[in-house]
Homo-oligomer: A and B are copies of this chain.
């Protein structure tokens, strides 16, 4: 199929969307939420086809569960849209303004990106969530979901478009790509002329494919090899609580802790506490030689372990002699997502905050707080691990760019 036509339509739509009043956007989202609830049967019927196909293909139960919609899940999508209407509209904010000696008045104003492309995997709720955030921030969106959820995604897309049309807004504000072949995905990743930014959401594999092939600016999200450093002056009880939370509260998420760094002078006391505390969770603790000399039951960590995001019941342990050494180790192996220090020493905390090169750096708190809702943004489209544009949790404002409006009275350059 030819995405050029849909790309151009989305771009044309984006001009209209950029100028919608906040109230118009809110009304449309509320209407669409209502429409989604009213269309529960239609959505469930479409979803049943995807689920049936997945079961036939022998897809794992956990993946079938991700794919499956229920009345409650549809209601949650609708509620999600309603919540978005309570957020502040970032569009139009004056970020700065000044006057030049030649009389030119310059205003720096927040504007939508224009067209956002989102490439994602199985969960069909992303179709509605991503649309909601993109729409509220004034962007058109092209959604390319996984092939296993295609019937559900297309049904949801049709409802979104119908809802927009009901409100007199161009339905080209959202387009769900029908084709699921690789060629179409590749085409989308090269649609520079029409798409301003591409956000992949899903596995490391998906994200790498997009980085590899896209000529559109990408916001890299997701991979988190998050570290917790237990300093010589740590409250060891707090350290254990935080590690248990960061490692075990949810294993498969990007802000879970994957790597521990422990000061050698507390290792003899702390590591046995750690072994005992993690025992009920069946965590495989892979440690360096020094740590294994303290707790013989730890398994061996290789160089590769220190750089791995396990998303599983495994954690690595590295012993160091100072906060500086901890920082150097973390900056070498982390994914610049979230890292924490546990200490009562203000100097060590301050150095750690400044020197660790991550989106979110913590003192005495769990890395699990790296999240748009936990940060108070009221929404989250993803967690950026790159430094260009947005870093860390991305809310509505992170889905915008800016422009300069310059007003003169005939000025020319000398």
A244 contact set on B, CB distance < 8 A: 412
Interface residues of A in 216-230 (CB under 8 A from B): 217-220
Task: State A12–B196 Cα separation when bound (angstroms).
Answer: 33
Within 8 Å CB of A242, what residues of B?
A: 410, 412
Given the contacts A192-B211, A407-B364, A100 and B374 also touching, CB distance less than 8 Å: yes
Q: How distant is A398 from chain B, measured CB to nearest CB, in Å?
A: 11
Q: Answer yes or no: A15 CB below 8 A from chain B CBs.
A: yes
Does B412 lie within 8 Å of A366, measured CB to CB? yes
The answer to whether A401 touches B413 (Cβ under 8 A) is no
The chain B residue sitting closest to A246, CB to CB, is B412
Size of interface on A: residues with Cβ below 8 Å to B: 72
A364 contacts across to B, CB distance below 8 A:
407-411
A279 contacts B by Cβ under 8 Å = no
* 1/0 contact string of A14-33 vs chain B (CB within 8 Å): 11001100000000000000
Tell me whether A391 and B403 are in contact (CB under 8 A): yes
Q: Please, how many angstroms separate the alpha-carbon atoms of A328 and B14 in the complex? A: 12
Are A374 and B217 in contact, CB atoms less than 8 angstroms apart?
Answer: no
Q: Which of A98, A238, A328 has the most CB of B within 10 A?
A: A238
Query: Which residues on B sit within 8 Å (CB–CB) of A357?
Result: 14-15, 18, 111, 114, 403
What's the Cα separation between A48 and B278 when bound, in Å? Answer: 67
Contacts of A12 in B (CB 8 A): 328
B412 with A241: CB separation less than 8 A? yes
Question: Is A5 an interface residue when CB atoms closer than 8 A count as contact?
Answer: no
Name the one of B19, B246, B375, B410 contacting A241, with C-beta atoms under 8 angstroms: B410
Determine whether the beta carbon of A404 is less than 8 Å from that of B211. no
- Is chain A's binding surface mostly helix, strand, loop or mixed? mixed
State whether A411 and B369 are in contact (beta carbons under 8 Å apart), knowing that A355-B19, A403-B358 are contacts in the complex. yes
Kindly state whether residue A186 has any CB partner on chain B within 8 Å: no
What mask results when residues 270 to 285 of chain A are scored 1 for a CB within 8 Å of chain B, else 0? 0000000000000000
Q: Which residues of B contact A204 (CB under 8 A)?
A: none
> Taking CB as reference atom, which chain B residue is nearest A388?
B217
Q: Counting CB contacts under 8 A, is A176 at the interface?
A: no
**Whole-angstrom distance between the alpha carbons of A374 and B106 in the complex?**
11
A228 to B408, CA, bound (A): 14
Given A104-B365, A196-B387, 20 additional A-B pairs, CB 8 A: A113-B388, A114-B387, A197-B387, A217-B386, A249-B412, A249-B413, A353-B407, A357-B403, A358-B403, A360-B404, A361-B404, A364-B409, A365-B407, A365-B408, A365-B409, A388-B389, A389-B389, A391-B403, A391-B404, A392-B403
On A, residues with C-beta under 8 Å from B are: 11-12, 14-15, 18-19, 98, 100, 104, 106, 111, 113-114, 192, 196-197, 211-212, 215, 217-220, 235, 238, 241-242, 244-246, 249, 327-328, 331, 349, 353-355, 357-366, 368-369, 374-376, 386-389, 391-392, 401-413
